[in-house]
């Protein structure tokens, strides 16, 4: 059994695994985080999981991106750690729980893509998806360009004096995302069904203030003389130069702010440290330690779930794939899931992952996903 596990994980690591082997690896790793039947304590399971993720992230940074693999770069060391701790458990598990074949759906839904609308200060609206690469507009010393990789870039000429106090906005539809570079050099990744309003120029402004609805990841350019402020419903995030993620969708009960590096101040009263996430609910902040990289999974082209409720996962699925979620019966208890899958995959890949180790079943009817609890 140890040999089989290592063989499959090595094939996943090298990118040579078949769809069936990827499904098997996905089940193993999912069960690692949700079961203690291997005879390991919660602390030991957590340590194994952390080692796996640390190795995964290290190899991701050292390797060029690849799509279509659930666990693209698991190192040999991580594979051996998993084998040592899980061989006995998976032997018992598979004996009593044969691996279910992925469900075949009569139709499928493709993943979202780079789609957005840019609204200029004069009210003109540009569909960035179909706009040609090159300069899109020039407003009072600000050149707006679409690069060959689909990024929106603002370039300042003559300090952009004439556009101070005027605003642009960018909006992504359901099933869309987009990256842009603001006039100060700040990079922003906008998730699906989100919008960002920002000055066409920060010249002569005392602070660099933007307004967010939805979710965005920020890499803020340093400027000690002008703080960068992200305003969302009930929250102001103030920074000088840092990396962080803000999830502020209107249909979510709370606003989540996760700090990757640097520091941020929330509503002038709370300062976050790297690896911390604040949850604002009913005007009150709750701070906890998290794997901060997971909060930016969408930016890196993945769905990453860590003990996440089904309802929360399906909201993300709905926004990215542009589907309606319909529950055919009541959720007496909302199950939680841990795992990862590429956002470039069709929706069936996500649904199969959720079905593998639960009593949840899905059916696809056009753009509607029906959820049934067996």
Q: Could you please report the per-residue DSSP string of 250-279?
A: TTSSSEEEEEEES-EEETTTEEE-TTEEEE
The two tokens of residue 183 are 């006039």
Q: Determine how β-strand 368-373 pairs with β-strand 360-365.
A: antiparallel
The whole-number pLDDT of residue 35 equals 45
Long-range contacts of 332-337 (CB under 8 A, 24+ apart): 332/373, 334/309, 334/310, 335/309, 335/310, 335/360, 336/34, 336/307, 336/308, 336/309, 336/310, 337/30, 337/34, 337/305, 337/307, 337/308, 337/310, 337/313
* Mean model confidence pLDDT for the chain: 79
Q: How many helices (H) and strands (E) does the chain have?
A: 7, 24
Its pTM stands at: 0.74
**Helical packing angle, 76-96 and 42-62, nearest 10°:** 130
First to last CA, the chain: 31
Cβ pair 235, 257 in contact under 8 A: yes
Tens of pLDDT along 336-362? 888 889 999 999 999 998 988 788 999
Q: Which residue has the tokens 């639960």?
A: 358
Structural contact between residues 361 and 369, judged by C-beta atoms closer than 8 angstroms: no
At 90, give phi and psi (nearest 5°): -70, -25
φ/ψ (deg, to 5) at 22: -65, -40
pLDDT band at 150 (very low <50, low <70, confident <90, very high): confident
Region 36-57 average pLDDT: 48
| pLDDT for residue 204 is more than 70 | yes
Q: Do the beta carbons of residue 107 and residue 366 sit within 8 Å?
A: yes
- pLDDT over threshold 50, residue 61: no
Binning pLDDT at 50, 70 and 90, where does residue 5 land?
Answer: low
> Beta strands 113-114 and 125-127: pairing type?
unpaired
Q: Where is average pLDDT lowest: 62-66, 97-101, 173-177, 298-302?
A: 62-66
Residue 171 pairs with which residues in a beta bridge?
Answer: 117, 195
Closest CA to 145 of 177, 172, 174, 183: 183
pLDDT reported for residue 92: 38
Smallest CA-to-CA distance from 194 within 176, 180, 179 is with 176
Residues 246 and 260: beta-carbon distance below 8 Å: no
Quote the CA–CA distance of 127 and 138 in Å, as a whole number: 16
Instruction: Please state the φ and ψ torsions of residue 356, each to the nearest 5 degrees.
Output: -55, -40
Q: Are the C-beta atoms of 157 and 143 separated by less than 8 Å?
A: yes
Asked which of 37-41, 68-72, 116-120, 145-149 is least confident by mean pLDDT, the reply is 68-72
Is the distance from CB of 200 to CB of 167 less than 8 angstroms?
Answer: yes
| Pairwise pLDDT comparison (79 vs 112), residue with the higher score | 112
Q: Which of 16-30, 97-111, 181-195 is most confident?
A: 181-195
C-alpha span between 291 and 279 (Å, rounded) = 15
Say whether 67 sits in a helix, a strand or coil.
Answer: coil
DSSP state of 36: -
What ranges make up the beta strands (E) of 333-373? Answer: 336-342, 360-365, 368-373
Give dist(CA 109, CA 321) in Å, integer: 7
pLDDT at 79: 45
């Amino acid at each position: 059994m140890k040999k089989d596990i290592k063989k499959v994980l090595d094939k996943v690591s090298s990118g040579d695994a078949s769809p069936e082997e990827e499904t098997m690896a996905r089940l193993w790793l999912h069960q690692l985080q949700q079961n203690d039947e291997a005879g390991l304590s919660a602390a030991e399971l957590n340590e194994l999981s952390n080692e796996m993720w640390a190795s995964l992230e290290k190899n991701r940074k050292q390797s060029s991106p690849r799509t279509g693999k659930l666990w693209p770069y698991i190192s040999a060391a991580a594979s051996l750690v998993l084998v040592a701790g899980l061989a006995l458990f998976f032997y018992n598990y598979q004996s009593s729980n044969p691996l279910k074949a992925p469900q075949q759906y009569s139709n499928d839904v493709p993943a979202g893509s780079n789609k957005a609308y840019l609204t200029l200060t004069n009210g003109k609206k540009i569909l960035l998806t179909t706009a040609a690469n090159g300069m899109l507009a020039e407003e009072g010393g600000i050149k707006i360009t679409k690069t060959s990789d689909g990024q929106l870039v603002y370039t300042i000429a003559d300090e952009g004096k004439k556009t101070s106090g005027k605003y642009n906005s960018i909006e992504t539809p359901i099933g869309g995302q987009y990256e842009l570079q603001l006039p100060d050099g700040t990079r922003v990744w906008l998730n699906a069904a989100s919008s960002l309003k920002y000055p066409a120029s920060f010249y002569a402004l005392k602070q660099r203030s933007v307004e967010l609805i939805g979710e965005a990841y920020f890499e803020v350019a340093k400027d000690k003389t002008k703080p960068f402020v992200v305003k969302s419903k009930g929250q102001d995030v103030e920074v000088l130069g840092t990396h962080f993620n803000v999830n502020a969708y209107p249909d979510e009960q709370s606003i989540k702010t996760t700090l990757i590096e640097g520091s941020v101040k929330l509503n002038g009263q709370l300062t976050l440290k790297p690896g911390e996430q604040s949850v604002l609910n009913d005007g009150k902040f709750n701070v906890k330690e998290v794997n901060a990289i997971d909060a930016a999974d969408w930016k890196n082209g993945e769905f990453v779930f860590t003990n996440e409720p089904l309802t929360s996962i399906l909201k993300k699925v709905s926004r990215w794939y542009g589907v309606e979620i319909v529950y055919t019966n009541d959720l007496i208890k909302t199950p939680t899931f841990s795992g990862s899958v590429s956002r470039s995959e069709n929706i069936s890949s996500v649904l199969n992952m959720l079905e593998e180790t639960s009593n949840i079943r899905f059916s696809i009817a056009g753009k509607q996903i029906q959820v049934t609890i067996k």
